[in-house]
């Protein structure tokens, strides 16, 4: 009998985090042999190190389509920039979850990406992927169940891993940001303080950020608790959800290339 698929998936929006922050989060996952999908915003040695662990980590793109984007000033240039960072990407989550039918159609027409995670339905029971045709290609949409910065705004965020295993059934894609895990802040104050240290967060040093790391319970302790609970169980990446959906819809992923 086949092992049932996991229901909980860890994803991380890199969001220009410093390399030592990315390395810190990756080390927790590697130590416990837990899979994760990383949505990449920039090139760096830490991103290259993630790529060396393809047995555990999947890389997708995290395009910033906002007006002030460092990725480009049009959707086409943003997508070209991000695909140059992660040529192997088949999934994406847009920065700020910005999306539209027109934008997603452009993604399907101009990139190999066919899976999108750009919407959040917090703690919604019975979540499941959807698949339909866009621009003549199968398009997989996967909702997120949880996001750390959104949890900070809730009156009772709950920083305990056990809750995710005891709650209602359904697909649980959890979204974290390495910088929030490192700072362990229960609100955005430590993050905003860290961003003021340098024009680019990526260049902030460990020594500079140290005063803003929070003790006690927070997203960092939650994430570590989740990874410890998942250690020794079957874990997987978003590509595995994608492949299962495409099999169910009888459309082999490799048989429908995006237009050249």
Q: How confident is the prediction for the chain on average, in pLDDT? A: 91
- Closest listed residue to residue 96, CA positions, set 131, 68, 135: 68
Token digits of residue 114 = 């066919």
Least reliable range by pLDDT among 68-72, 186-190, 229-233: 68-72
Cα distance between residue 46 and residue 90, in whole Å: 20
What is the pLDDT at residue 248? 84
Residues 107 and 99: beta-carbon distance below 8 Å: no
- State the average pLDDT over residues 35-56: 97
- State the average pLDDT over residues 72-97: 93
Residues 41 and 69: beta-carbon distance below 8 Å: no
Angle at 132 between CA 131 and CA 133, to 5 degrees: 140
Query: How buried is residue 99: exposed, middle or buried, by Cβ count under 10 Å (0-12/13-18/19+)?
Result: middle
Distance of CA 108 to the CA centre of its chain: 19
Q: Is the pLDDT of residue 257 over 80?
A: no
What is the pLDDT at residue 67? 83
Phi, psi (rounded to 5 degrees) for 197: -70, -25
% pLDDT > 90, the chain: 78
Q: Is the pLDDT of residue 6 over 80?
A: no
What is the pLDDT at residue 254? 46
pLDDT tens string 122-136: 999 999 999 999 988
pLDDT tens string 9-18: 999 999 999 9
What is the pLDDT at residue 96? 84
pTM value is 0.93
pLDDT tens string 149-163: 999 999 989 899 998
Q: How confident is the model at residue 260 (pLDDT cuts 50, 70, 90)?
A: very low
Cα distance between residue 114 and residue 91, in whole Å: 6
What is the pLDDT at residue 146? 96
What is the pLDDT at residue 250? 65
What is the pLDDT at residue 1? 33
- State the average pLDDT over residues 72-90: 94
Cα distance between residue 180 and residue 194, in whole Å: 11
What is the pLDDT at residue 208? 95
Q: Is the pLDDT of residue 106 over 90?
A: yes
Q: Is the pLDDT of residue 54 over 70?
A: yes
- C-alpha separations of 250 from 14, 149, 239 in Å: 33, 37, 16
- State the average pLDDT over residues 27-40: 98
- State the average pLDDT over residues 107-125: 95
What is the pLDDT at residue 255? 45
**3-state secondary structure string, the chain?**
CCCCCCCEEEEEECCCCCHHHHHHHHHHHHHHCCCEEEEECCCCHHHHHHHCCCCCEEEEECCCCCCCCCCCCCHHHHHHHHHHHCCCCCEECCHHHCCCHHHHHHHHHHCCCCEECCCECCCCCCCCCEEEEECCEEEEECCECEEHHHHHCCCCCCCCCHHHHHCCCCCEEEEECHHHHHHCCCCCHHHHHHHCCCCCHHHCCHHHHHHHCCCCCCHHHHHHHHHHHHCCCCCCCHHHHHHHHHHHCCCCHHHCCCCC
Q: Is the pLDDT of residue 198 over 90?
A: no
Q: List the domains of the chain with CATH numbers.
A: 8-255 (3.20.20.370)
């Amino acid at each position: 009998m086949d092992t049932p698929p996991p229901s909980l998936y860890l994803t991380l929006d890199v969001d220009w985090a410093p390399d030592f922050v990315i390395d810190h989060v990756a080390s927790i996952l590697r130590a416990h042999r837990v899979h994760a999908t990383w949505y990449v915003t920039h090139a760096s040695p830490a991103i290259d190190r993630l790529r060396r662990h393809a047995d555990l980590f999947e890389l997708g793109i995290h395009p910033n389509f906002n007006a002030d984007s460092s990725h480009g000033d049009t959707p086409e240039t943003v997508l070209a920039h991000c695909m140059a960072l992660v040529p192997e990407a088949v999934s994406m989550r847009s920065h700020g979850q910005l999306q539209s039918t027109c934008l997603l159609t452009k993604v399907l027409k101009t990139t190999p990406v066919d899976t999108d995670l750009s919407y959040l339905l917090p703690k919604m029971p019975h979540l499941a992927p959807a698949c339909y045709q866009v621009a003549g290609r199968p398009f997989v949409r996967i909702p997120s169940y949880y996001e750390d910065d959104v949890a900070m705004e809730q009156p009772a965020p709950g920083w305990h891993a056990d809750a995710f295993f005891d709650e209602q059934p359904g697909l649980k894609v959890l979204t974290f940001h390495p910088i929030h895990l490192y700072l362990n802040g229960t609100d955005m104050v430590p993050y905003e303080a860290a961003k003021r240290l340098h024009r680019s967060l990526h260049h902030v040093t460990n020594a500079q950020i140290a005063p803003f790391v929070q003790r006690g319970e927070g997203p960092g302790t939650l994430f570590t608790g989740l990874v410890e609970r998942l250690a020794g169980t079957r874990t997987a990446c978003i590509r595995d959800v994608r492949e299962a959906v495409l099999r169910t819809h009888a459309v082999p992923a490799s048989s429908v290339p995006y237009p050249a």
